[in-house]
Structure 1
Amino acid sequence: MIISGSVVKYGDNIDTDVIVPGKYLGITDYEELGRHALEGIDPDFSSKIKQTSILVVGENFGCGSSREEAPVALKYAGVKCIIAKSFARIFYRNAINIGLPIVVCSEASEKLNDGDMVTINLAEGVIINTSRNEVYRTKALPGFILEILKDGGLVAYLRRRLT
C-alpha cells in the first residue's frame, strides 16, 4: 500500500480531546465531525489537510480518552496517513480499526516539514521525502494490518472474510 501527499506538521502530546473536542462527540455525520478535527490547535486544519493529506506529529499522539471519534474525525477531514514518533496504544488500534493508516517513524517525524512531499510504502516500511530526496526507514506494517487498511477498516475486513 503506497500513499503520497504533502505534509502538515504539529507537535507532541496531542490528545484525543484536542483532536476532537467533547462538544462535538454527539455529531453522527462523519464529514461534519471531520470539519472540527484539531480546530483547537489550528482553526484552519480542516482546509489545510484537504490540500496536504499527510499529518506528521511528535510523541504520544492520540493520548487521553479512548474515543474512536478522534481517528474518525481525522480520516473524514482528509488525512490519508499519520506519521508520528509514537502513538497512544488505544489511538493506534482505533485508527487501524477504522482504516486510517498510521506509521511510527521518529526520523521522519523530526525531519519532515510543512509542505514536504512524501511517498509512504506501508508494506516495505519506507518513507521518501521527495522534496529533499531523503529516505526514512521504519518497521513495515504486518500483512493482516495492511489487509485491514486496504479494506477500509476492521468491519469491512471481517465482512469480506466471513462472506
Structure 2
Amino acid sequence: MSAQSIYEFALLGSIIRFSDGAPRPPDRHRRKLSAWENNNSGGRLIRKQAERRIGNTVIGASITLHAGDYGSGGVVVLRVHRTFSVDSRLTFAVTERPNVGSVQVLDRPGDDGELVYLASHRADAEEWLKRHGYPNAVLREISADEVAAAVVEGRAAA
C-alpha cells in the first residue's frame, strides 16, 4: 500500500514496514546492505501531519515512524524518526495494529499530536505520564470501532 493509504487509514501506534522492492544483498556486501536497509525497514507510526503552507511554500502531508532508540544503561541518547511524504515511491504495509483498549499518549491536543507512548491500558498511561513531563498530553483510548474501520478501509494492509 502507499504512504497516502497509511496516512488515511492506519492508527497511530501501528507497526509499519516499508520497502523499495529490491532484493536483500548478501551480508558480505556491507555498503550495499546498509543502503538497502535504508529503504527496507520499519517502525511505529507516531505522527500524521497534514499538508501546510508556510508563506508561498506548500509542504505536503507526511507520516513519521519511530525507527528506534539508541543508548545504554536505560538512558536514551539518540531517538531515530523517519518521515515520509505521502507521495513516497516506497511500498508500505501495516504489520501490527494497536490492541483494542490500549491508550495512545499524545504530546499535545489536536490533529498534529505526536504519539509519545502506547500504553496497554489507562492506568499504565497515567503512571507513565507521572514519570515523564508532558504538561499538554492527551490520552486517547483505542476503540474496537477504530480498529475495525482501519481493517476495513485499509484492506490491503492486512
Question: TM-score when scaled to structure 2?
Answer: 0.27
Greater share of helix: 1
Question: TM-score when scaled to structure 1?
Answer: 0.27
Larger radius of gyration: 2
Greater share of strand: 2
